[in-house]
Structure 1
Amino acid sequence: MERVIAMDQMNNAAEETIRVIHADLPVNATLHLWLKAVSPETPGSLSLHSVNGKFGEVQAINAEEHSFRIYQVFGGGPIELRYDSRDTTVSVAYWFTASDVLETGITILHTSPANQPPDLAASYHFRPPFGWMNDPNGFGRFGGRPHLFYQHYSHGRMWNNMHWGHAVSSDYLRWRHMPVFLFPSEDLTARPDKRGGAFSGSAIPLSNGPGIRVFFTEKVNGRIPEQEIQMTATSADLFTAGEASVLLAQRPAGEGLSPDFRDPYVFKGPDGLWKMLLGSQSEEGGVILLYDTDDPQAASGWTYRGKLLVDSRYRTTALECPCLLPIDGEATDPKTRWALIYGLMHSLDEKTGRRNLTMVDVGWFDGKTFSREFSRELDFAADNYAFQAFTDGQVPVGIGWLGNWIDTGPTVDFPSAMTLPRTLRLENGQLLTPPIGTAESLRSHILDRTRLAAGNVVTFLNGAVEILFDLAEAGLPFELTLDHPDVPLAVAQGEAGLFIHYGGDEAATPRYLAEGARVSRLRIFLDYGSIEVFADGGRYAGTKRIEGFEPVRSARLIAGDGAIISATIWALRL
């Protein structure tokens, strides 16, 4: 009797540790699963069951990192994925059908507490479906759709060995999540040791048929002689990558470069050749390297042409995430101006205390040299990093990581977002970076047309709003106070210029200041965890991440008599 009771207790205990993930699948569904053994002694295991019983199983022996498994389910209908939490953990499970994944995306079945995204139903910024995200990669229109790839780690909200996440859209705002696109090399997937992976890069359409070619940096810390090399892979179906091959195995010799050698950005030059920019560092400062090839498929024949740019401002080390595109005409027209955008790694603006600035130079590019007309910061609040852009038809469009490395790192839980997509254009000799035109489609309904302009407090329903107001004269002082439960927050204009006041007092650093700005029109986007300010049509743009996800609760606009011509507030939603 005692043995029977003990056995019953053991069975009950076993039943309590069985975890079940339910799914209702169409015919020919593909499952992507990541699982890990709890201990090296016992393999991790996940079994698949239908109404007819068990029909499949996947296993993992690795107890350090989750192992990726694919399972094809040919018959449709309800199934259960079962595993015992005593010997198995599951990080991510999703399914899709290859025939229509670009139209429907993936369906998430399971994430763990370590990698699940924030529950922000009203938020309109792009966030990954699970895990960590930083730089945008391979941003472009392919197969008629905008595609966004990005730096990604699936199993936690901390930076780790890099993958490429992927999403597609029809309007740059409403995204469908795709299967994970690029993975670290096999030895890097064995443990979460932050040694490297598939780092940032770009994508171009294939010239000999449908599909894309992607370019990325493979990094392996401590690899000799090069820890960073350039790789390429192709995808005919736009959601799975073929086997990657080495494109550039070493840095150019004789240039005195640091081991930094990364972030290939590939584009068509004015001479019709494919060009590649890469970021690095030399004794002179951060550098952007230029390569080109006469291979129409951009698959080989890359030749080093020299340093396109050397920059030592703000104590920068390497230059990162370079990007170059025409902004006011055809690439083949010598009169066309180009925008060269790049990040200043580890930079410090001593005057304001801001770190990791992003610069944009406007000038002319003849395929070999870049002649600068003027240079300025892309964003005065510095939380628009790794900005990547391309020309969509005739319209330059770009997007950045809504974050800054000064706020995060490999040990920081940091759920993050992308910025609102922006366009780039020249107007009266100034570069404007306003939000993409489709951003107006986010407007759900008007919250206010009169109270804000009158100096009254306007309460928000949630944290997703757009505020638009006009001043009677450029440069008039104002203060838009935003009631946030955790941090003092305001947008203001004074003698010093336009600034975002975030925490502390006005003298505290960092100071998010567009020095000397005298603006008359403000467009401000608030979301859970961010504020984006666009002044005078995007002549000045300031992007600031707000710690946490508490919403801004209300706003009040304080200005002199007659200073405010009009003010409108919209509630926003996807």
Structure 2
Amino acid sequence: MSDAIDPTPAFRPLLHFTPPKGWMNDPNGLVHHAGQYHLFYQCYPDDTVWGPMHWGHASSRDLVHWTHRPVALAPDAHGMCFSGSAVVDWQHTFVAECEITTVPRKAVCGTLRADMVTPLVAFFTRHVPGESPELDHQCQAMAASRDGGRSWQTCDTAILDNPGLQDFRDPKVFWHAESEHWVMILTEGQQLGIYRTQGGVEWEKVSVFGAEHGAHDERAWECPDLFPLPIEGSRGEQEGDVDRWVLMVSVQRCGPAGGSGTQVFIGDFDGVHFTPHQPPETVTWFDLGADCYAAQSCSDHPGERLVIGWMSNWLYAHETPTGDWRGAMTIPRALSLHPDEGGEGYVLRQAIPEQVRRSAGALDALVVPRRPAPGSVLELGEAQAALTEFQLQLATGAAVSLRPFGDDSLIFRLERVETGLDVTVDRSVPDDLYAGAEAALAEHFSHQTHHHLPSGPRVACQLLRDSCSAELFIDEGRWVLTELAFPTSPEAMTLSVERGEVGLFGASARHW
């Protein structure tokens, strides 16, 4: 939800963040500061297609109600403002205490007055386009704000110049307490470069990761992130929870449903090297759907690790039928890490944060049969933005279909097989949109994908729908599928029993 006046209500989400107008893609600089969440994002306010990149800005106290702020960073003589990250400079490593003050009041050098706040520092890629990709130039830049993100001062000179790479972008910066260094991880084409600094001036390259790991296509990896997560249920010796490190990075053309996707590696990080626990050929997706890209976590949040992704896909992002705005963010997700069933690896789970769930206007128990017969069609909620939660008990051979919009624009099919759960996504463009659909939307938006999940017979599900999207959380968020959809006349969400013995328990619905 946002404070924007909406001139084009068609498909505008109620719960998911969208720009007031123009184009939006990657989330940037997610940071928690002075009691507020700040969401920066790649945007081009003057058109609904990708153009000279700015950093848009919004803030929220609850991850639901967003206030649009003026553009934080705009292109200048030094180039466009590509993706990056933001931190709270609580040590004054990057911004001297007297360097930036709250306008119009000044502070005596060395004195932190009550009307000043600890600075926010944004790290981003300056991109100077050339006549060909070989002539493009990308370097890392920095901007700082001493007034809670209302105004920004950028450094004219690069903080990390390009060593001669075509793709050198998307810096994620974080503090690594064990080595007492600030660390920067960024994309260098088909691998990631890891840099660090103590004094905030000279960045030293210390390692690389990824050239022989995970999924690759003909385009560069993008938007890396690296952060620790405690292993749920374990305790370290005199050090609290045992941590593992989660590395996320996005691919542009080989995602799990075609096109864009975000992959995950779980391992160890000593401040210099990231060492994954999985074999190089293993690919683990953060989201199995078509529309979760450039997922980024929130810096400096005192609680759970929160992540937001761009809810679109580069195959058709420029052609979605949304009027004078284009682009949306996924629902914020709280991450947790658990040992897997074999005890040799880890499972990353995603949950809708409690503060988002509590913001719903109502919580209703759904009156549905516990043993619905084959052929049954059950309504699960009809609000514009609604969350339905339930548990399925599926006998081998049983199958159900979930229709987030009550029609065939998007269908999730779940079938129990002897070795687990088969999930099929079937998505189409409604006939009335096909007539005006541009080539990429008509070619790539409709798709059918299949996933085999090693799940038991009882499956916890959460289905969150909004005006043009559905996010299905399976097995307490072990798997998530995010899909855009553009239904002609959305109706109530439904669950259809296609065949077999099905149990349905604990069904409830929230709406906004």
Same fold (TM > 0.5):
yes
**Is the CA contact 1:106–1:178 (under 8 Å) kept in the aligned structure 2?**
no
C-alpha distance 333-459 of structure 1, shift in aligned 2 (>3 A): closer
1:119-518 alignment, distance < 5 Å: 123-186=14-77, 197-206=80-89, 207-208=91-92, 210-222=118-130, 227-237=137-147, 238-248=149-159, 250-252=161-163, 257=165, 259-269=166-176, 270-281=178-189, 286-295=190-199, 298=200, 300-310=201-211, 311=213, 313-328=215-230, 336-347=243-254, 354-374=258-278, 376-390=284-298, 392-409=301-318, 415-428=326-339, 429-446=346-363, 449-451=366-368, 454=372, 455-458=376-379, 460-472=381-393, 477-482=398-403, 484=405, 487-494=408-415, 495=417, 497-503=422-428, 510-518=447-455
CA RMSD of aligned residues (A): 3.2
**Is the CA contact 1:422–1:436 (under 8 Å) kept in the aligned structure 2?**
yes
Measured against aligned partners, the alpha-carbon deviations of 1:386-436 in whole angstroms (never above 9, x if no partner) come to: 000135224211100001101124998662210011111112231112222
C-alpha distance 476-523 of structure 1, shift in aligned 2 (>3 A): farther
Indicate the SS of the match to 1:239.
coil
| Structure 2 counterpart of 1:524 | 463
C-alpha distance 408-548 of structure 1, shift in aligned 2 (>3 A): farther
d(CA) in 1 for partners of 2:425 and 2:381? 20
Compare CA radii of gyration and give the structure with the larger one: 1
**Is the CA contact 1:452–1:557 (under 8 Å) kept in the aligned structure 2?**
no
| 1:426 alignment partner AA | L
C-alpha distance 220-410 of structure 1, shift in aligned 2 (>3 A): farther
C-alpha distance 568-378 of structure 1, shift in aligned 2 (>3 A): same
d(CA) in 2 for partners of 1:420 and 1:550? 23
**Is the CA contact 1:326–1:338 (under 8 Å) kept in the aligned structure 2?**
yes
**Is the CA contact 1:478–1:558 (under 8 Å) kept in the aligned structure 2?**
yes
Indicate the SS of the match to 2:476.
helix
C-alpha distance 493-314 of structure 1, shift in aligned 2 (>3 A): farther
C-alpha distance 558-246 of structure 1, shift in aligned 2 (>3 A): farther
Unaligned runs of 5+ in 1: 1-104, 188-195
**Is the CA contact 1:293–1:303 (under 8 Å) kept in the aligned structure 2?**
yes
What TM-score comes out, normalization by structure 1 length? 0.69
1:335 to partner: Cα distance: 5.1
| Structure 2 counterpart of 1:4 | none
Greater length-normalized contact order (CA 8 Å, ≥ 6 residues apart): 2
Measured against aligned partners, the alpha-carbon deviations of 1:516-567 in whole angstroms (never above 9, x if no partner) come to: 3425111010110000011111100111111368534441331656522315
C-alpha distance 474-441 of structure 1, shift in aligned 2 (>3 A): farther
Unaligned runs of 5+ in 2: 98-117, 340-345, 430-444
d(CA) in 2 for partners of 1:566 and 1:365? 42
d(CA) in 1 for partners of 2:34 and 2:242? 30
C-alpha distance 407-359 of structure 1, shift in aligned 2 (>3 A): same
1:446 to partner: Cα distance: 4.4
C-alpha distance 466-277 of structure 1, shift in aligned 2 (>3 A): same
Indicate the SS of the match to 1:418.
coil
1:314 to partner: Cα distance: 4.5
d(CA) in 1 for partners of 2:22 and 2:138? 24
**Is the CA contact 1:217–1:264 (under 8 Å) kept in the aligned structure 2?**
yes
Q: Which has the higher strand share?
A: 1
1:315 to partner: Cα distance: 2.5
Percentage identity across paired residues of the two chains: 26
1:124 to partner: Cα distance: 0.8
d(CA) in 2 for partners of 1:246 and 1:438? 41
C-alpha distance 304-240 of structure 1, shift in aligned 2 (>3 A): same
1:382 to partner: Cα distance: 3.2
What TM-score comes out, normalization by structure 2 length? 0.77
Indicate the SS of the match to 2:154.
coil
Measured against aligned partners, the alpha-carbon deviations of 1:478-534 in whole angstroms (never above 9, x if no partner) come to: 323427487532222224622332239xxx974343323425111010110000011
d(CA) in 2 for partners of 1:411 and 1:480? 25
1:40-51 alignment, distance < 5 Å: none
d(CA) in 1 for partners of 2:365 and 2:175? 46
d(CA) in 1 for partners of 2:489 and 2:226? 37
**Is the CA contact 1:477–1:492 (under 8 Å) kept in the aligned structure 2?**
no
C-alpha distance 316-487 of structure 1, shift in aligned 2 (>3 A): farther
**Is the CA contact 1:316–1:344 (under 8 Å) kept in the aligned structure 2?**
no
| Structure 2 counterpart of 1:8 | none
d(CA) in 2 for partners of 1:319 and 1:251? 17
d(CA) in 1 for partners of 2:214 and 2:12? 43
Indicate the SS of the match to 2:73.
coil
